Amino acid sequence: MKRLFFTLFVALVFSLSIFAQTPRPSATPSVEEDNDVVKISTALIQLDVVVTDKNGKLVTDLKPEDFEVTENGERQPITALSYFAGQKNAVADGSLTNLNSMIRTSPTVGDVRRTVAVVIDDAGLSAQSIVLVKRELVKFISEQVQPNDLVAIIKTSGSVGILQQFTTDKRKLLSIIENLQYRPLTSVGLSPFETIGITFAEQIAGNNNGNGGELSQVGKTISERKNTVESLADINRNLQVTAGSLGVLNTTISAMRQLPGRKSVLYVAEGVYSLFSNTVNNSLRADSNIPSNSSLIFSDIDKLREDLRGITEIANRATIAIYTLDPRGTLPVNFSAAEQMRGGMTERESGVRNDSSLIARSNTLKISQQGLKFLAEETSGKAFINTNDFGKSLRETLDSQNGYYLLAYQPTAETFDADKRRFNKLSVKVNRPNVNVSYRSGFFNVAEESREKSKATPEETFFQKIFSPYKLTDVNLRMTSIFAADEQISTIRSFVNIETGNLKFADGANGNKTAQFDLIAVNFNADGIPVATVSKTFDINASPQRYEKLLIEGIAYNLTFTTRAKGAQNIKVSVRDRSTQKIGTVSQTVEIPNFDKDSIGLSGLLLQNFTAAEWQNIQSGKAPADAASRMQTDTARRQFKKGTVLSFNYAVYAAPSLRSKSQAQFTVFKDGKEVFKGSPEELNIAPTGKMQRVNRGGAFLLGTDMAAGRYVLQISVGGDAVKEAEIHQIDFELVN
pLDDT, tens only, 519-544: 999 998 887 788 999 999 999 999 99
Nearest C-alpha neighbor of 234 from the set 49, 102, 371, 367? 367
- For 597-736, CATH gives 2.60.40.3880
Q: Is the pLDDT of residue 336 over 80?
A: no
Structure confidence at residue 2 (pLDDT): 46
Which are the contacts of 10, defined by CB distance < 8 A and separation ≥ 6? none
Report the chain's mean pLDDT, rounded to a whole number: 77
In angstroms, the CA 146 to CA 94 distance is 10
Question: 194 or 706, which is more confident?
Answer: 706
How many helices and strands, by DSSP H and E, does the chain display? 14, 32
- In the chain, where the domains are located: 31-86+402-450, 96-399, 455-592, 597-736
The stretch 418-435 carries a mean pLDDT of 84
User: The domain 31-86+402-450 is classified under which CATH number: 3.40.50, 2.60.40, 3.30.200, 2.70.40?
Assistant: 2.60.40
pLDDT at 430: 93
User: Other CB atoms closer than 10 Å to residue 310's CB: what's the count?
Assistant: 18
Q: Which residues contact 250 (CB under 8 A, 6 or more apart)?
A: 24, 25, 26, 307, 310, 311, 314
Sign of CA dihedral 254, 260, 266, 272: positive
Cβ pair 496, 481 in contact under 8 A: no
222-271 pLDDT, tens digit per residue, is 445 445 545 555 666 666 777 788 888 888 888 888 888 888 999 999 88
Q: What is the pLDDT of residues 624-673, one digit of tens each?
A: 888 888 899 999 999 999 999 999 999 998 887 777 778 899 999 998 88
> What does the pLDDT look like over 178-202, one tens digit per residue?
888 887 765 565 655 555 555 555 5
Euclidean distance between CA atoms 42 and 413, whole angstroms: 8
The DSSP symbol for 284 reads H
Helix, strand, coil share of the chain (percent; to 5): 30, 30, 35
* pLDDT value, residue 388: 83
CATH node for 96-399: 3.40.50.410
pLDDT of 350 over the 70 cut: no
Q: Which residues contact 281 (CB under 8 A, 6 or more apart)?
A: 275, 298, 301
Q: Do domains 96-399 and 455-592 have the same CATH topology?
A: no
**Which of these CATH numbers, 3.40.47.10, 2.60.40.3880, 3.40.50.2000, 3.40.50.1820, describes 455-592?**
2.60.40.3880
Model confidence band, residue 712 (pLDDT cutoffs 50, 70, 90): very high
Q: What is the mean pLDDT of residues 51-55?
A: 86
User: What is the layout of strands, in order, in the sheet containing 477-485?
Assistant: 477-485, 490-498, 555-563
Q: How confident is the model at residue 134 (pLDDT cuts 50, 70, 90)?
A: very high
Interhelix angle 278-286/295-317, rounded to 10 degrees, is 160
